[in-house]
Amino acid sequence: MNIRRTVLSAFAAMTALLLAAPSYAGKPDIFRSMFEFDLLVVECDGFEVWTTGWERDTEKWWYNEFDEPVRLQFSVNITESEYYNNTDPTKFVTQGKNGVGENFTNKIDLTTGDEHWSGALFRLTLPGIGHVLLDMGTWFWDASTATVVHYGPDYALAEGETGLALCEALE
Report which of residues 148 and 74 the model is more confident about. Answer: 74
The answer to whether residue 98 is domain-embedded is yes
Query: What is the structure's pLDDT at 88?
Result: 95
Query: What is the structure's pLDDT at 103?
Result: 79
The answer to whether residue 150 is domain-embedded is yes
The answer to whether residue 46 is domain-embedded is yes
For 86-116, b/e burial (b = at least 16 CB within 10 A) is eeeeeebbebeeebbebbbebbbbbeeeebb
Query: What is the structure's pLDDT at 70?
Result: 94
Residues near 42 by Cβ (< 8 Å), separated by ≥ 6? 48, 49, 163, 166, 167
Domain that holds residue 116: 23-169
Lowest-confidence segment of 17-21, 77-81, 111-115, 125-129 by average pLDDT: 17-21
Residues near 85 by Cβ (< 8 Å), separated by ≥ 6? 47, 48, 49, 91, 92, 170, 171
Split at pLDDT 50, 70, 90, the class of 16 is very low
- Tell me the pLDDT tens digit for each residue of 40-74: 888 999 999 898 888 899 999 999 999 999 999 99
**Residues 103/76, Cβ–Cβ less than 8 Å:** yes
The answer to whether residue 14 is domain-embedded is no
φ, ψ at 66 (rounded to 5°): -100, 10
Query: What is the structure's pLDDT at 57?
Result: 92
The answer to whether residue 11 is domain-embedded is no
The answer to whether residue 33 is domain-embedded is yes
The answer to whether residue 78 is domain-embedded is yes
How many separate domains does the chain show?
A: 1
The answer to whether residue 119 is domain-embedded is yes
- Tell me the pLDDT tens digit for each residue of 82-141: 889 999 989 988 764 444 567 788 898 988 888 888 877 666 767 666 666 555 667 777
Distances in Å between the Cα of 8 and the Cα atoms of 1, 2, 16, 17 are 11, 10, 12, 14
